[in-house]
Homo-oligomer: A and B are copies of this chain.
């Protein structure tokens, strides 16, 4: 069965639009981009489109290099202090000379839509209330929509990035799953994925997850995105793996739309907190 992120995103955005209209919410997302990363351009376009769809205002600030961390932090501080701004996204990646963590750490945790600041990561670590990273929240939301049980499930995550792999491991542990975090140095990865009830690939290596690596009736979530001669390719060999999987995300059309939907979800949550 397909884990249909596109369908669920549509459903979430419709509900969000209604909520924003009915409750007369005034929400604004500030997006800061440095330079002209092609993938970032696409992501930002999708975020803006979703905001427009549900009635969230967007302030989009694009900085052309060369720039420095002070400049970025100055803009973040400006949005921090602007009471009409609900949430702030500093689009990653930044150019190589700029430290993303150092810059984004200046975003107020109450305006941290992406959930990457130390305060929100620390809340996740302690299993306390906070803003969850959007991709992580989107995966949890998608699995919940299809009644996939996390409690006691063996989950293999492939990829230990700060954006998906690591926070996802923490979130799934909080949901009582047993998580193995695999990465480029992992030996006999097949032994681990074969034993997993849920396999989540987030490493950006095209088709690294093949049918022989998973057990029958596995749940497979494909987060990775690579481009091979203009075609978007995921981390999962979808055509073959889907024959064994009980549930599987398409890619594109699975996790990506959920990430965008959760930006909207976080903004609504943050708007309510800020006004409450």
Contact = CB atoms under 8 A, between A and B. Distances in A.
Interface residues of A, number: 32
Given A118-B119, A125-B166, A178 B173 contact: no
A195 B191 contact: yes
A173 B160 CA distance: 8
Majority SS of interface residues in chain A?
mixed
Contacts of A121: 121-122, 125
A110 interface: no
Contact of A183 (B160, B178, B191): B178
A181 B182 contact: no
Given A122-B121, A166-B125, A185 B178 contact: yes
Contacts of A179: 180-181
Interface in A106-155: 118-119, 121-122, 125-126, 128, 151-152, 154
A180 B178 contact: yes
Contacts of A160: 173
A176 interface: yes
A185 to B, nearest CB: 4
A162 interface: yes
Interface of A: 101, 118-119, 121-122, 125-126, 128, 151-152, 154, 160, 162, 166, 169-170, 173, 176-183, 185-188, 191-192, 195
26 contacts: A101-B126, A101-B128, A118-B118, A118-B119, A121-B121, A121-B125, A122-B122, A125-B125, A125-B162, A125-B166, A152-B185, A152-B187, A154-B188, A166-B173, A169-B169, A169-B181, A173-B183, A176-B183, A176-B185, A178-B181, A178-B185, A178-B187, A179-B180, A179-B181, A180-B192, A192-B195
